[in-house]
Amino acid sequence: MSRQAFEAAYVHTHRAGLFPERIEKAFALFASCTLCPRRCRVNRLNGELGTCRAGCLPEVSSYSPHFGEERPLVGLHGSGTIFLTHCNLRCSFCQNYSLSHLGEGREVSFERMARMMMELQDLGCHNINFVTPTHYVPQILRALPEAIDLGLRVPLVYNSSGYDSVAALKLLDGIFDIYMPDFKFARSGPAEEYCQAADYPEVARSAITEMHRQVGDLVLDERGIARRGLLVRHLVLPEGLAGTDEVVRFLAAEISPNTYVNIMDQYFPCGDIAPRSPLGRRITGEEFEEALDKARTAGLTRLDNRERHRLVSY
């Protein structure tokens, strides 16, 4: 896809006048919150807080060009990341613990969020990358029309934990150009132990299937920059706790062998992980190479090939 041929999905949706209905439906979920699979049923419109601890206004920890993302997102000028505060999954080993668990960030208006998007585009960022957006879907939808009217045109990236409801994702059909979910766990036991979400594997499979239905395989322009499609992240954990073999088989067989997948090696113990926990160490080089071999054996053909961190055994 050439740069000239690309038009962000949300531009067409805005032109068609579909945003008001999407915004109304999204905020209606807050009255007895069922926005995510937690289904807390608190009234976020009245200030009640559920598992995610998020309210009615978006909360942002930081926003800036980011160069640590996957190469198709970073390009020359970076991915325009907006790090949102709080999280609906709240993994005990979260590497952004101060944001997801401790609530580091501040409330911003919808107008301010729109201006953040424009500032990042004006800096040359190749996309606007919402990090952990699941619990802020209505707020993002509310901020977008103003950003579009101001001239926003770059792709939008939905960078989530994978713990997303299909109903909420359907509200984003024709809004986000790129979906970048994690697929953290293939088995319910570790998902329950480390995220209190035994249903995570089932939820993630359904969410990724819906994401792929909307945007298809990842499409790059002539510069190698992502314009549209699905990119999946999978963090390798010690002792095989992530269920890598099942994750990659699902992606290759049920989604597409052409799925762009980043098998990640950067796990390190943090958050609430105790030193004697199975997650109390980094992965070894052998564990990471085994994960890559499993992905190739499963038939995945597009593995991210960034330079890896040096792996240390403990």
pLDDT at 178 over 50: yes
Mean of per-residue pLDDT scores for the chain: 95
Residue 1's pLDDT is 65
Residue 312's pLDDT is 40
Report pLDDT digits (tens) over 284-312.
999 999 999 999 999 999 999 865 544 44
Supply the CATH classification number for the domain 9-303: 3.20.20.70
Residue 313's pLDDT is 37
pLDDT at 200 over 60: yes
Share of the chain above pLDDT 90, in %: 89
Q: Where are the domains of the chain?
A: 9-303
> Token pair for residue 154?
């770059």
Query: Comparing C-alpha atoms, which of 1, 6, 8 is closest to residue 177?
Result: 8
Q: In Å, how far are 119, 163, 226 from 113, measured between CA atoms?
A: 10, 23, 23
DSSP letter assigned to residue 182: B
Report pLDDT digits (tens) over 116-154.
999 999 999 999 999 999 999 999 999 999 999 999 999
In sequence order, which residues have a C-beta less than 8 Å from that of residue 203 and are 6 or more positions away? Answer: 37, 162, 163, 164, 165, 197
Q: Would the pTM of this model clear 0.85, i.e. be above it?
A: yes
